Amino acid sequence: MNQGFAIWRPPGGSPQGLAGRFQESIITDIDFKHGFLFKPWSTEQPCSFIYGERVFQEALLREWTEYPDFETEITQHGMMDLEVWRGYIQSIQHEIAQGGVQKVVAARTQMVDTRVGLFDAFLAACARYPDAFVSIVYHEQYGIWLGATPEILVQPLGDDWETVSMAGTLLDDVTGWTGKEIDENTVTQQHLEEVLQRVGAQIIESGKANAVRAGALRHLVRHYQFSLPPSHIHSFIAQLHPTPAVGGYIREKALSIIDAHESNGRGLFAGYLGYYENAKPHLWVNLRCCRWYGSKALLHAGAGINAMSHADAEWAETEAKMATIGGCL
């Protein structure tokens, strides 16, 4: 078990937190009513969870973020410049042309200086992004992570459940959706519906993909309402992650390409995290996030690559995504 804490602000809610020791388990063995959970990107790493009496006092939450030993050794290993990124995208598109994979989500990192303290950055993200799930997680193994993610993995919807297919990004309000973005979302929908069918879920409603604003960006998002016994929801989560929106499709091949090119690893980026109420998970994909080092932060962002992608445009997309949380630091 690892000493740490989690602070979060659900959309429409108030900042709250838990401190103590994290425990570990695979998602299908999780069994607690109230608490906080996160899953790193790696499929080989278990979930970490913490529970107890929640704290709502802002002064105490702020105090948790002011420990002096948060500054850890910073490494520049694995960071890509534009030329390396272009080579990565070229390698992905070569694999796509060979027919073994349809889409791969390539990710990169960027180190920036911080201008405010950790809790003030958290409050800034809460103010800027009222519809996002905003969080700070501190775990001895993984360090400190701050994020403001717009993407629901799964949450209760009355007696049913909600999940989304969120893939395809535009950087402005003028450009129209192209086949590239539509294909990205279609692949994610395909995977999601395959998992829902495998776990025996009944899809109650699934509208068409619509444009949804998240910060300065627009995303194609399709909402799904489905029924599934609560005892089966963790099986659904286990099979869903990582979705094509953060990994790729076909999944196994996409993940092998990612492992070969992203030598710095993803940590908590593109994993999932959230809280439990009455034994029901409210989980989000951990996007628009950074690892916090005190005076510096390592921003993470990815972009979906398919046969229609252009490396420089995807680089610009990752820049815009990094600015979401970067602008709060």
What pLDDT shows up at residue 78? 66
Give tens-digit pLDDT for 105-125: 999 999 999 999 999 999 999
What pLDDT shows up at residue 214? 66
* Higher per-residue pLDDT: 72 or 79: 79
Question: In DSSP terms, which residues pair with 291 in a beta bridge?
Answer: 145, 298
Helix, strand, coil % (nearest 5) of the chain?
A: 30, 35, 35
Single-letter amino acid code for the residue at 254: A
What pLDDT shows up at residue 219? 67
What pLDDT shows up at residue 1? 47
CA distances to 31, 199, 234, 235, 272 from 231, rounded to whole Å, are 10, 11, 7, 8, 19
pLDDT at 68 over 60: no
| Residue 205: pLDDT band with limits 50, 70, 90 | confident
Give tens-digit pLDDT for 219-273: 677 889 999 999 999 999 999 999 888 999 889 999 999 999 998 889 999 999 9
CATH class of the structural domain 2-326:
alpha beta
What pLDDT shows up at residue 265? 85
pLDDT at 155 over 80: yes
Average pLDDT of the residues of the chain: 90
pLDDT at 197 over 50: yes
Q: Which residues contact 218 (CB under 8 A, 6 or more apart)?
A: 169, 170, 171, 172, 173, 211, 212
Give tens-digit pLDDT for 159-168: 999 999 877 6
Domain ranges of the chain: 2-326
Predicted TM-score of the model (pTM): 0.93
Give tens-digit pLDDT for 2-34: 589 999 999 999 999 999 999 999 999 998 899
pLDDT at 54 over 60: yes
pLDDT at 84 over 70: yes
